[in-house]
Amino acid sequence: MSHIDEDVCPERLDAEPSHIKEEEESREVSHFQVEEEDQALYIKKEEEPEHPCTKDGGNTSSNEDEDEEYDGDLTCHTDNKLWKCSRCGKMFTAIRALKRHVRTHTGEKPFACSDCGQRFSRKGNLKRHMRIHTGEKLFICSDCGVRFSEEGSLNDHKRTHTGEKPFSCLACGQRFSHKGSLIRHTRTHTGEKPFACSDCGQKFSRKGTLKKHTRTHTGEKPFSCSICGQRFSEKGHLKSHTRIHTGEKPFACSVCGQRFSQNGHLIHHTRTHTGEKPFSCLACGQRFSRKGHLNNHTRTHTGEKPFSCSCGKTFTYQSHLKRHVRTHSGEKPFACSDCGQRFSHKGNLKRHTRTHTGEKPFSCLLCCQRFSCKVTLKAHTSTHTGEKPFSCSDCGRRFFWKGSLMSHTRTHTSEKPFSCSICGRKFFWKGSLINHTRIHTDEKPFSCSICGQRFFWKVSLINHARTHTKQSPLHCIHSSVLYNNCKK
């Protein structure tokens, strides 16, 4: 009997197991699942024996696949006892092997799962699938005892112990322990993106990435925090969130040792050491260390104000909107630890705290006088330069302060926005209302350090103090020194 070489019968798996987690997509890919992709990939598996289907027709699991009568697409060569596929010409020594092969042409899937209805072209594939429902795990790792439902998954797992990486990329030489990892890697060379979103058409190179993307359409958030119940669309987001509760900070700066709960925060921090500013403004060229800072800056060119309040006012930055909303709600979340006074803005609390500490971090370059607020320094500097940038549109009078201009404008409009809650009297300025209120409360906050006499208003104290010192109230602007006579 003459010898006839047979083609290797390709094994095919009809459906990807639905239980594989998206984070480990195709990690446990057995030889049953990837044979159909081999010809399209740059794959080289070293020391891999040929599939033993030349003599027994590929019947590696004859007890798993049932034979049935089949009338079409095959021809019996009785002389050599070979069966030939009439569609592609492949030869088989057993009719059951030919039957399985023909299903790759017809798409027939005669074996159905009784639990979920999924269908398969091979009984062996159905049998493996059933273990998803039964939880049966027949294959045990001899090193660590972990159990698996498929032998291929066990073989893949064993490589985590041996460190073996038998799959090599022919394009760049990178090696992998799993064939599925190589398949995914190969797409970085080919640019192939076989997984498409049915909603928007966006394509992805990984099925897991598509699955995560799909949640942006469905709004599904399957991952829930066991501590506070907050839900997330991605497992990685839940993991990062959990560190808020645990206080874990696994990411450490190699320069200063500061630790962070998220890798992204460490990356941002590292740029404070390196000075790296990878984000550049296309309009003016200014560079930024964070993309968010660039986005905020870009709005200064476009004039975009995407953040709007229910009152209709719009803002360039979300932080400005947040502060503005407090003017409606009256919320004052920032409290002074010394006196308990509360503020709606963190910056206001910071400035207030200096009234307790006496800190004056802002210094005048001309006279060295120091100030607790930057805006106060700016106004003071104007006394040297004579600059009065704010002018009244009605009379042309100019002012150092914008607030002074606003107060002055009311002398033209006769607006008196500040009213006494006790007697109803109205005032141009808030300070005038505060002074007036003391008449009702009998509060006298200003006391003489020499005789102890108390006064409603500061000006009354100043006038009284002269009875002790006999000093002139004239004050030299440039030196901040009181003189008995500074008329000339």
Query: Average pLDDT for residues 452-461, to the nearest whole number?
Result: 87
In DSSP terms, 361 is beta-bridged to: none
Mean pLDDT of 416-436: 88
Residues in the chain: 488
Q: Are 86 and 73 in contact (CB under 8 A)?
A: yes
Torsion of CA 183, 185, 190, 194, to 10 degrees: 60
**pLDDT tens readout for residues 322-361:** 989 988 888 989 999 989 899 888 888 998 999 899 899 9
Give the tokens for residue 246.
């645990």
| Structural tokens at position 306 | 């995407």
Lowest model confidence (mean pLDDT) among 19-33, 113-127, 223-237: 19-33
Report the mean per-residue pLDDT for the chain: 79
Higher-confidence residue of 69 and 198: namely: 198
- Looking at the DSSP bridge assignments, the partners of residue 204 are 195
Mean pLDDT of 183-206: 92
The C-alpha atoms of residue 236 and residue 385 are separated, in whole angstroms, by 57
Count of Cβ atoms closer than 10 Å to residue 78 Cβ: 6
Distances (CA, A) of 183 to 159, 168, 172, 204: 17, 10, 13, 14
User: Burial code of 385-401, b = ≥16 C-beta within 10 A, e = fewer?
Assistant: eeeeebebeeeeeebbb
How many beta carbons lie within 10 A of that of residue 105, not counting itself? 12
pLDDT computed for residue 472 by the predictor: 52
How many Cα atoms within 13 Å fall on the side-chain side of residue 140? 4
Q: Check: CB of residue 108 under 8 Å from CB of residue 93.
A: no
Is the full-model pTM beyond 0.85?
A: no
Checking if the pLDDT of 286 tops 50, the result is: yes
pLDDT of residue 29: 32
Mean pLDDT of the 384-395 span: 88
Task: Name the nearest CA neighbour of 402 among 421, 418, 432, 382.
Answer: 382
Give exposure, 268-281, as e/b (b: 16+ Cβ within 10 Å). bbbeeeeeeeebee
Structural domains for the chain: 22-196 (3.30.160.60), 418-469 (3.30.160.60)
Residue 49's pLDDT is 37
By percentage, how much of the chain surpasses pLDDT 70?
80
Ramachandran area for residue 475 (φ above 0: left; ψ -120 to 50: alpha; else beta): beta
**Segment 280-309 mean pLDDT:** 92
Q: How confident is the model at residue 171 (pLDDT cuts 50, 70, 90)?
A: very high
Q: What digits encode the pLDDT tens for the residues 220-234?
A: 999 999 999 999 999
What are phi and psi for residue 402, nearest 5 degrees?
-65, -35
SS (H, E, C) 373-426: CHHHHHHHHHHHHCCCCEECCCCCCEECCHHHHHHHHHHHHCCCCEECCCCCCE
Over residues 194-223, mean pLDDT: 92
Reported as a single tens digit per residue, the pLDDT across 54-67 is 333 443 333 444 44
pLDDT band at 80, cuts 50/70/90? low
Q: Which pLDDT tens digit goes with each residue over 158-167?
A: 988 999 999 9
Query: How much is the pLDDT for 215?
Result: 92
CA distance 368 to 381: 11
How buried is 151 (Cβ within 10 angstroms: 0-12 exposed, 13-18 middle, 19+ buried)?
middle
Distance CA 380, CA 402 (A): 14
Please compute the mean of the pLDDT values over residues 379-391 and round it to a whole number. 85
Span 33-62, average pLDDT: 34
% of the chain at pLDDT higher than 90: 38
Arithmetic mean of pLDDT, 79-83: 70
- Helix/strand/coil for 103: helix
Helix, coil or strand: residue 92: strand
- 483 pLDDT tier (thresholds 50, 70, 90): very low
What integer pLDDT is reported at residue 471 of this predicted model? Answer: 59
pLDDT of residue 114: 92
The amino acid that residue 233 corresponds to is S
* Strand order across the 82-85 sheet: 74-77, 82-85, 91-92
User: Which pLDDT score is estimated for 246?
Assistant: 93
Q: How far is CA 240 from CA 225, 265, 292, in A?
A: 11, 11, 20
Q: Is residue 284 classed exposed, middle or buried when 0-12, 13-18 and 19+ CB atoms within 10 A define those classes?
A: exposed
Predicted confidence (pLDDT) at residue 418 exceeds the cutoff of 90: no
| Residue 120, helix vs strand vs coil | strand
